Amino acid sequence: MKVDGFVKSPKVVPPAEAGVRNRLLGLDSRLRGKDRKGHFLTSCDTPIVYRPGTLLKRMNRFLAFCGCVILLLTSGCLSGAPLMSPVLKRSDPVSSMIKDYQSLTLSNPGLADTGVRLATGDAFTLLPRETRPKELLTYKIGNDSVMACGMYHNIASSSGPLYLGAEPAQEGKSWKSIDVEIIVWKKADWLQIAVFFETMKRDHPHSAPVAVAYHEATLRYEAEMASRKASERIEEARKQWEQEKEKTAELSKQLEDREKRERALMGKLAEGARVPPVILVVSPKEGWETESNVVGLSGVIQDDQGLEALEIWINEEKFKTYWIGGDSASGEEASKRLEFQERIPLQRGDNRIKINAVDVEGFYAEKIIRVRGVEKKKNVWAVVVGINSYPNIRQLKYAVNDAVAFYNHLVEYNQVPKENVVLLLDEEANLTRLRSALGIYLKNKASKEDMVIIYFAGHGATERDATSPDGDGLEKYLLPYDSDPKELYATALPMEEISRLFSRIRSDRLVFLVDSCYSGASGGRTINVADIRAGISDGFLDRITGGKGKIILTASGANEVSAESDELQHGIFTHFLIKGLQGQADSDGDGLITVDEVYTYVSKQVPQATNQEQHPVKKGIVEGPLVLSIVR
């Protein structure tokens, strides 16, 4: 009887011969990187023999294969080939960070060509799969000299192929092969590389090399930030020195002018005991600092003899003159009191506002107010998110349009530096990137005095949770690009975590703008999970804005939909939000748009545009006006 080309027979294969054949087959399987379970029968198994002549042919082919394997091993051809598959895998995609990747086995200590080609300045990582304290990896780039790999992360000093080797622990001792992962990064962004290995640590908690690689990347990022801050402090000190030099010259000139005026005034007082005009400035206060390019000047002047004229100067240039004196021909007396109010243009840095008043007797008074124009929005950090193309959820039309428009408002209209704003659109706004931007980027960048703005346009959702601290039995989520409505807890961003992220950010001024909703209704920026309809309870909003100086402004209220408009090609809330920030909400005309002003504006416009079906909601408390935009 034939079975797979074999014939049963009482003759058996000797156990010794079967053992050798099984070991050779195992070696073949390991070299090929597979897990085949081939075996040969011994005399203890079912007795099988080959057909006449078949055994001899198979043995000859197998011995030829073994000879090839031995020849490859002795020639070193296998020493640098990528014979292993990567086992240090991450739980999220990182193709946008990595330029090249190889995983190989060093079978002897000599240098081997890795197949990787480096360019000058490339950041690359050499990650062994196990730590050997007494063995040192070495590498060479092109024709450069051999370098000792003292750290896992390196920067290429030249261009060329990468060769990798190792120095054994002691001479004369047998060499044990070592497995190495080679990662070439698209750019030396040590913050993102640290986040990469932080995620890898979670996937491989017992890997010592991964832990060391994460620690090294974190140290490099901290050193880079420290160097940058030191340079900024040196530049700031230089500017302060120049400013103090200018102030000294200006002060000398002011003292000289004052002495001249006092001498003139003393001469007039010697002629008669007359009092010069009185000048009272209500706003601005002396030493006021503002990010606006204008400031409101208001005050009053008074003189018992009657006023002749009032002059306003800004930075030694005449801004305006009021002629007040009476008409002697008609017998009209000069006014003794004048209230004034003007919008004064400012330049960046120190500004000197001078007010001169002269009465009908020629007595003169002067008032000087100094106002400092600080650099516009250099202390603003923002994360802007917009998602249309959800792969697992109903897609939106204009969330990306909204996010791009808000980003342009910050960068182009309010001139916030581009490097201060993170823009995440569609697949860029996955759960990992979103957590990194909110929990690491903003935490490391924003100081106590800075402003933080977070904008999100996308889907929201709810899920039943009896332990919800909001008192409504529901947990609310913002949905990143890779969210799965069947597994919200694992793939979405719960508002409870948003609250923890807020507490990590040191800034006293944080504004969270959300063009999303949690109603479960159709047609808006929400999804329906198990037919749940949720309102935005006061407990939920109070929890999110817990802490000093934190404001949340949402697009809609309880059981309402955050609507999109085909005519506007935007979400209705974001459309009016941007119009308000660019001047429509400036109710007092001071050129500064506060959170309260823009909330008042959208609270009027959005309900009118939606037939009273959508009402924005604001929660949170800050001390003093919180400026969100500057009118150009």
What are 403-424's pLDDT values in tens digits? 999 999 999 998 888 999 999 9
Integer Cα distance of 148 and 66 in angstroms? 36
Quick one: tokens of 32?
């090929």
- Please state, for a pLDDT cut of 90, what percent of the chain lies above it: 28
34-48, 147-161, 255-269, 426-440: which range is least confident on average? 34-48
| Contact by Cβ (8 Å): 594, 627 | yes
- Per-residue model confidence (pLDDT) at position 270: 60
Q: What is the pLDDT of residues 19-34, one digit of tens each?
A: 434 433 433 343 333 3
The answer to whether residues 191 and 299 belong to one domain is no
Helix (H) or strand (E) holding 170: none
Give the CA distances from residue 1 to residues 41, 42, 50, 610, in Å, rounded to whole numbers and listed in that order.
17, 20, 12, 84
Confidence band of 511 (pLDDT split at 50, 70, 90): very high
60-69, 305-314, 525-534: which range is least confident on average? 525-534
Integer Cα distance of 497 and 485 in angstroms? 18
Helix (H) or strand (E) holding 307: strand 307-314
Amino acid at 248: T
The answer to whether residues 365 and 465 belong to one domain is no
Q: How many domains does the chain have?
A: 4
98-102, 158-162, 295-299, 378-382: which range is least confident on average? 378-382
Integer Cα distance of 183 and 390 in angstroms? 30
**Mean per-residue pLDDT, 207-228:** 89
The answer to whether residues 537 and 555 belong to one domain is yes
Q: Where are the beta strands (DSSP E) in 465-616?
A: 474-478, 493-494, 509-515, 550-554, 564-565, 570-571, 592-594
86-90, 441-445, 488-492: which range is least confident on average? 86-90
Which has the higher per-residue pLDDT, 436 or 177? 436
Domain boundary among 350, 373, 396: 373
**Mean per-residue pLDDT, 316-321:** 90
- Per-residue model confidence (pLDDT) at position 327: 65
Quick one: tokens of 528?
């329906």
Q: What is the pLDDT of residues 595-628, one digit of tens each?
A: 889 999 999 999 999 999 899 998 887 776 788 8
Is the pLDDT at 117 greater than 50? The verdict is yes
Domain boundary among 247, 273, 299: 273
The answer to whether residues 49 and 102 belong to one domain is no
Is the pLDDT at 203 greater than 80? The verdict is yes
| Contact by Cβ (8 Å): 1, 7 | yes
Domain boundary among 10, 45, 75: 75
Integer Cα distance of 421 and 442 in angstroms? 10
Is the pLDDT at 54 greater than 60? The verdict is no
The answer to whether residues 300 and 162 belong to one domain is no
Question: How far from chain centre, in Å, is Cα 585?
Answer: 28
- Per-residue model confidence (pLDDT) at position 224: 87
**Mean per-residue pLDDT, 82-110:** 65
The answer to whether residues 109 and 213 belong to one domain is yes
The answer to whether residues 184 and 155 belong to one domain is yes
Amino acid at 74: T
Integer Cα distance of 271 and 606 in angstroms? 68
Integer Cα distance of 184 and 312 in angstroms? 63
21-35, 126-140, 194-208, 272-286: which range is least confident on average? 21-35
Question: How far from chain centre, in Å, is Cα 531?
Answer: 35
**Residue 432 counted as domain residue:** yes
Q: Where are the beta strands (DSSP E) in 335-411?
A: 337-345, 349-359, 364-373, 380-386
Is the pLDDT at 457 greater than 80? The verdict is yes
Helix axes 54-75, 15-31, angle to 10 degrees: 50
Task: Specify the 3-state DSSP secondary structure of 506.
Answer: coil
The answer to whether residues 175 and 296 belong to one domain is no
The answer to whether residues 236 and 328 belong to one domain is no
373-376 long-range contacts, Cβ below 8 Å, gap at least 24? Answer: 373/289, 373/290, 373/291, 373/292, 373/293, 373/346, 373/347, 373/348, 373/349, 374/289, 374/290, 374/291, 374/348, 375/291, 375/348, 376/291, 376/293, 376/414, 376/415, 376/416, 376/630
- Per-residue model confidence (pLDDT) at position 8: 37
Is the pLDDT at 590 greater than 60? The verdict is yes
Confidence band of 467 (pLDDT split at 50, 70, 90): low
Helix (H) or strand (E) holding 578: helix 572-579
**CATH at 530:** 3.40.50.1460
Domain of 112, in residue numbers = 82-273
- Per-residue model confidence (pLDDT) at position 17: 41
Integer Cα distance of 113 and 177 in angstroms? 16
Task: Specify the 3-state DSSP secondary structure of 287.
Answer: coil
Is the pLDDT at 309 greater than 60? The verdict is yes
Amino acid at 572: I
Is the pLDDT at 383 greater than 50? The verdict is yes
- Per-residue model confidence (pLDDT) at position 363: 84
How far apart, in Å, do the first and last CA atoms of the chain sit?
95
The answer to whether residues 57 and 130 belong to one domain is no
488: burial class by Cβ within 10 Å (0-12, 13-18, 19+)?
buried
| Contact by Cβ (8 Å): 113, 80 | yes
Confidence band of 97 (pLDDT split at 50, 70, 90): confident
